[in-house]
Amino acid sequence: MSTAKLTINLDALVTNWQNLNAMTNCETAAVVKANGYGLDAGRVAKALAKAGARNFFVAAAEEGVALRRALGPGPGISVFSGHMEGDTKLLKEFQLTPMLNSLDQMLRHFETLPGHPFGVQLDSGMNRLGMEPAEWAAVRDIALGQGPVLLMSHLACADDPAHPMNAQQLRVFREMTDGIEVPRSLAATGGMLLGPDYHFDLCRPGVGLYGGEPFGDALPVVQLDLPVIQLRDVEPGESVGYGNAWVAQTPARIATVAAGYADGLQRALTKGDVFAYAGEARCPIVGRVSMDLITVDVTALDQVPASLTLLNEEQTIEHLAQAAGTIGYEILTSLGHRYARTYQG
């Protein structure tokens, strides 16, 4: 079998949720959009529900439908994109709670699903989703009359604790919601780490659950093992891969492993310090990353194992992200569909 193996440690994921939960006195929900950051929203949410998570967030109603099918009735499922045209039937049938983002969405919701639970997303300065202060001031009495279950907003710079935008958004969110007897939520992973002022009634971590920054104490959740398909010895002067990008200076042994940029391992990875691990030993990646293959210099190994490891406790999604000039979120959500996925825990 030449399929790379992605192992997802649900115990580590649950521990991350519990450790984040222990940092606050409020409820901790879980964000499982983009199919649980690429790791399978159903499995992720089921593991977290078993550990005590009661509310989940997705980006779109369709994701909520898939999640409801996996979770069954009971846990709350909220939709960040709100109530879009065409969502009505799904929201109703699958008991999804839209976070209404605009007057349009509000009118649609109250007209088509009166009495159906909803939240309101407020824009405290990110200018991405949610009602702005003036819009909210105009409609808030009507909205509050319909009994929202949550008022939420999102921070733009929470991964940088020193950024003045955090305090500014906190102030705006408070101005928009202080004195209202409805549960409030402002913090995702980064916001949780900013301290209790940011916690309100419910926190919504995503990336920290899956082992990513800015939750520096997160346990890694994914391991990626790439089977060695072929081994060859090259002489000094011989090149490896597309564009002859790497040329052996000394006699070398090259392992070709099965995964490439079509599996989310970006070509830019080779710009940084990314290695293929044989146990503890680090082997340099040489040449370009192909669509399905990566070449590794294993000259230093006495014995080449059946597979080399690209993601483990030493080398995490953050290392790959740094090498490729991106963020852990993007590495996670790009992890390929070809991998044979195994769930632990």
Binding of ligand PLP by 207 (CB under 6 A): yes
Q: How far is the CB of 115 from ligand PLP (least distance, A)?
A: 25
Binding of ligand PLP by 31 (CB under 6 A): yes
Catalytic residue status for 33: yes
Q: Which of 5, 33, 37, 210 is catalytic?
A: 33
Q: How far is the CB of 190 from ligand PLP (least distance, A)?
A: 6
Q: How far is the CB of 153 from ligand PLP (least distance, A)?
A: 8
Return the number of the residue (119 or 287) whose C-beta is nearest ligand PLP. Answer: 119
Figure out which of the listed residues 16, 189, 223, 315 binds ligand PLP, where binding follows CB under 6 A: 189
Q: Give the residue among 124, 190, 178 at the shortest CA–CA distance from 329.
A: 190
User: Which residues, 6 or more positions from 259, have their beta carbon under 8 angstroms from its beta carbon?
Assistant: 4, 224, 226, 265, 292, 293, 294, 310, 336, 338, 339
Mark residues 243-262: x for contact with ligand PLP by CB under 6 A, - for none.
--------------------
Return the number of the residue (123 or 297) whose C-beta is nearest ligand PLP. Answer: 123
Site for ligand PLP in 142-171 (CB under 6 A): 154
For the chain, state the CA radius of gyration: 23
Q: Give the residue among 108, 177, 185, 105 at the shortest CA–CA distance from 144.
A: 177
Q: Which of 50, 89, 92, 242 is catalytic?
A: 242
Q: Give the residue among 73, 92, 71 at the shortest CA–CA distance from 83.
A: 92
Binding of ligand PLP by 205 (CB under 6 A): yes
Q: Which region among 138-146, 203-211, 226-234, 298-306 touches ligand PLP (by CB under 6 A)? A: 203-211
Binding of ligand PLP by 204 (CB under 6 A): yes
Figure out which of the listed residues 10, 39, 60, 188 binds ligand PLP, where binding follows CB under 6 A: 188
Q: How far is the CB of 10 from ligand PLP (least distance, A)?
A: 18
Return the number of the residue (33 or 43) whose C-beta is nearest ligand PLP. Answer: 33
Binding of ligand PLP by 80 (CB under 6 A): yes
Q: Compute the half-sphere exposure of residue 190: CA atoms within 13 Å on the CB side of its CA.
A: 15
| DSSP one-letter code for 216 | T
Q: Which region among 84-92, 167-175, 199-207, 222-230 touches ligand PLP (by CB under 6 A)? A: 199-207
Q: Compute the half-sphere exposure of residue 228: CA atoms within 13 Å on the CB side of its CA.
A: 20
Figure out which of the listed residues 206, 211, 227, 336 binds ligand PLP, where binding follows CB under 6 A: 206
- The runs of H, that is alpha helices, within the chain are 10-21, 33-37, 41-51, 61-71, 88-93, 103-112, 133-145, 164-177, 189-192, 317-324, 328-334
Catalytic residue status for 89: no
End-to-end CA distance of the chain: 24
Nearest-angstrom CA–CA distance, 303 and 137: 69
Q: Beta strand 246-247 with 281-286: parallel, antiparallel or unpaired?
A: unpaired
Q: Alpha carbon 168 to chain centroid distance?
A: 26
Q: Which residues are catalytic?
A: 33, 242
Residues that bind ligand PLP (CB under 6 A): 31, 33, 80, 154, 188-190, 204-208
